[in-house]
Structure 1
Amino acid sequence: MKRPNLLVINPNSSPVMTGDIEATVQVLSDRLHFDFVVTSTPGAPDVLESFRDYTLGGASVLQRLAKQPPDHFDGLLLACFGDPALYALKEQVLLPVTGIAEASFSLALLLGYRFGILAASAKAKPMMESLVLSYGLQARLAGVAALEVPIGDFAGRPGSQEDLMVEKCESLRQAGAEVIILGCAGMTGIGARLQQRTGLTVIDPVVAGCTALWQMIAGGFCPSRTGLYA
């Protein structure tokens, strides 16, 4: 297999969060031997904290790729935990495509029976519950714990809320979670530390997304064109 080339799109316009995502992807690139480009989305909100933000960010990604198709890439990762416009991307882009939430949920099902999600803001809690429902996985969800911290506070310093995150992981453990998913790309880089401190399996969504995309490319799998994504 030739060395895959991955396009990782952060659908917000934050250069700091994009840098955090890129740092994680670089570590995986060295381990899994793929090339990559990580890019933000000019014109999108600097953080995506509402359904309106998701719509604006997702639309910006779709418009950009319509003008500049990712033909020289082997796969595309949408690096926002809301998976904004993911299904539209699977219709539009003739490549393996996944989002970091979709990939994280899929991985969590392999690693334990019930999973919990660490969300950033209070509003993100019902948004994450709604997202899990849309994927039909509500029976496997132990709960969502909100840190009640703005998403932007994680940018450039994902470990700044580590003690609070450990506390929330413990509350999710008490609710029955065996696996913890970090519910924001801005939390990337802290997963291994949380796993060490809590003893729980912790999924970094950027790691899950890149790994899933790499596996799709290696296996020769693309979204089906005969039904939902036709």
Structure 2
Amino acid sequence: MPILSTAGSGRARLLVINPNSTVAFTEHIAHELGGDLPPGYEVVFYTAPVGAPASIEGVGDSVVTAAACLEELGPALGEYDGAIVACFSNHPLTHALRERVAYPVVSILEAPLLMGAQLGSHAGILTTSPRWESLLAHDVAALGLSGKNTAGVVSSGFSVLDLERKSRAEVAERLVQIALDEFYTRRKADVLVLGCAGMVGFTDQIRDRLPPDSMVVLEPVRCAFEMCVALVRSRARTAKGGLYATP
């Protein structure tokens, strides 16, 4: 069974989906978002069921986790007003949910790139393992967002699970150094997107080591959450006349 936790209460209910089965990642996300909810909102944090991959390391894991989440969530999907898919990829669950529901479903890959385009003109993505450099370049292109990722994708060298297994200090130091050396100094990026839901909580450490106002650092789950709230507040709905028509 998945781990469900709730925070806040109110008229609108948002669903934050961690599509891998590592509960600790969900807990970090809940801690980051749970203390800063807008009035009138309830948030449910969902973890993929036991048996689903513990981390998502490629296309195969994405397909398996999407199927596991869809099967378990099932009819409960109708209980929400908006959803966030907390995997930094063009995850098939995002598109499957947009077919199934009319409320907004926000991707943590799309949201920070779209927000970053309002804040700078040369955005880069700091991801996990080298495998994700090519995967994310492909995903960004498939979503038509290459022009919003002109500083490219760089690996931290960590696997997704390393972000949980290694000390926070070690992870933070590596992320800071790549942000400074690769993105700020060499690539002249003005926006840096942290390219994994497991990087939640590291934004301030990176910002604090940068020259003031030099490079915006965006945490993708926070961006997706804020975008989802904005869409729900504006009463936006997923269009059903084209790509996301209900089968």
TM-score by length of 2: 0.86
1:55 to 1:114, Cα distance in 2 relative to 1, 3 A = same
Report the secondary structure of 1:151's partner residue: coil
The Cα offsets for residues 85-118 of structure 1, whole Å up to 9 and x where unpaired, read as 1111101122111111111111111111111001
2:188 to 169, 173, 176: 176
CA distance in 2, matches of 1:79, 1:160: 23
1:203 to 1:90, Cα distance in 2 relative to 1, 3 A = same
Alignment of 1:31-110 (within 5 A): 34-42=41-49, 43-65=51-73, 67-85=74-92, 86-110=94-118
1:213 equivalenced with 2:228 (yes/no): yes
CA distance in 2, matches of 1:72, 1:159: 39
Corresponding residue number in structure 2 for 1:161 = 171
Is the 1:9–1:76 Cα contact (8 Å) retained in structure 2?
yes
Q: Which segments of structure 1 move beyond 6 Å, counting only runs of 4 or more?
A: none
Report the secondary structure of 1:70's partner residue: helix
Q: Give 1:159 deviation, angstroms.
A: 4.7
Corresponding residue number in structure 2 for 1:149 = 158
Is the 2:102–2:239 Cα contact (8 Å) retained in structure 1?
no
Is the 1:28–1:207 Cα contact (8 Å) retained in structure 2?
no
Q: Percent identity?
A: 29
* C-alpha RMSD of the superposition: 1.7
TM-score by length of 1: 0.92
CA distance in 1, matches of 2:32, 2:164: 13
Is the 2:129–2:158 Cα contact (8 Å) retained in structure 1?
yes
CA distance in 2, matches of 1:88, 1:182: 25
Corresponding residue number in structure 2 for 1:5 = 13
Q: Identify the structure with bigger relative contact order (alpha carbons < 8 Å, sequence gap 6+).
A: 1
Corresponding residue number in structure 1 for 2:5 = none
CA distance in 2, matches of 1:196, 1:226: 46
CA distance in 2, matches of 1:51, 1:100: 17
Is the 1:159–1:190 Cα contact (8 Å) retained in structure 2?
no
Q: Give 1:185 deviation, angstroms.
A: 0.3
Q: Which has the larger radius of gyration?
A: 2
Q: Structure 1 unaligned segments of length 5 or more: list them.
A: none
Residue-pair matches, total: 227
